[in-house]
Amino acid sequence: MSEEVLHVTRDGRVATVTLNRPASKNALNPALVAALAHELTKLGDDAGVGAIVLTGAGDAFCSGADLKAALMDPSAMGDIEARLERFHDIIRAVVGAPQPVLAAVDGPAVGFGCDLALACDLRVGTERAYFQEKFVRIGLVPDGGGSLWLPQMIGVGRALELMLLGEPVEGRRALELGLVNKLVAPELLMPTTLELARRIAAGPPIANTGIKRSVRASLTAVALALGHEKEAQLRCLHSQDFLEGTMAWMQKREPVFSGN
């Protein structure tokens, strides 16, 4: 299954991990979540890897959790806390990897897909890339560390604006805000990202690891943020507002939230 939903390739000391569900814009179903956490953890433990590139197949980085599949699974809500932990395993693997992780973002990075891109150490985007903390549109909260990453990157006011309104941030504005390090044409995305990854991987591994860990300061901050997000998300997932939000999304109408 992991071979179908996730591709991992190696070029010298650079490993490329490609989410491979292009028909769903690389939405995260249970198989992809498990494969991604496993492969990122394994690459992090590999001393032969100097940098990791994370990207998506087709014209999308990641559209977030596969909500359609989850809504059709009668068991989905029964183990929702465990499912959230499996998503968080991905973020912990990205942040905890000693090697720098670079996101190559084309098209949408939405919901958890946005948080996943923001969790990476560097981001290269295309002119058609966009980042969207869309959770609030269906009565949810960011649950991949977005409440930590965004304030650090763009300040509290702008971070709250993006999370409270759930509006997309297009490529040019993402560059202005500092959400991406480089902005390139779609055809230059992988060549540019891989060249950057090769330069990093050719550097001193001990120093690279030290820089990443020093800048990240402490995994405690990540753990606290993920814990707060999980607590809030569980409340949201059991609310009538989430039901209304998902029904409105499926029916392509504006939701009417009640606070219940």
Number of domains in the chain: 1
Express each pLDDT in 115-173 by its tens digit: 999 999 999 999 999 999 999 999 999 999 999 999 999 999 999 999 999 999 999 99
Range from 48-62, 66-80, 185-199, 203-217 carrying the lowest mean pLDDT: 66-80
| pLDDT of 248 | 87
- Could you tell me if residue 220 is inside a domain? no
Q: HSE, CB side, 13 Å, CA atoms: give it for residue 145.
A: 26
CA R_g for the chain:
18
Which tokens go with 15?
Answer: 């490993």
Q: How far apart are CA 206 and CA 231, in angstroms?
A: 36
* Catalytic annotation present for 143: yes
Q: How far apart are CA 202 and CA 51, in angstroms?
A: 9
Residue 190 has pLDDT above 80, yes or no: yes
Q: How confident is the model at residue 1 (pLDDT cuts 50, 70, 90)?
A: very low
The active-site residue out of 66, 88, 106, 115 is 88
Could you tell me the CATH number of the domain that includes residue 125?
3.90.226.10
- Could you tell me if residue 22 is inside a domain? yes
- Could you tell me if residue 223 is inside a domain? no
Segment 43-65 mean pLDDT: 97
| Residue 146: domain span | 2-186
For residue 207, give every residue at least 6 positions away whose Cβ sits within 8 Å of its Cβ, in sequence order, or none: none
Average pLDDT, the chain: 92
Residue 29 has pLDDT above 90, yes or no: yes
The active-site residue out of 106, 115, 121, 143 is 143
- Could you tell me if residue 79 is inside a domain? yes
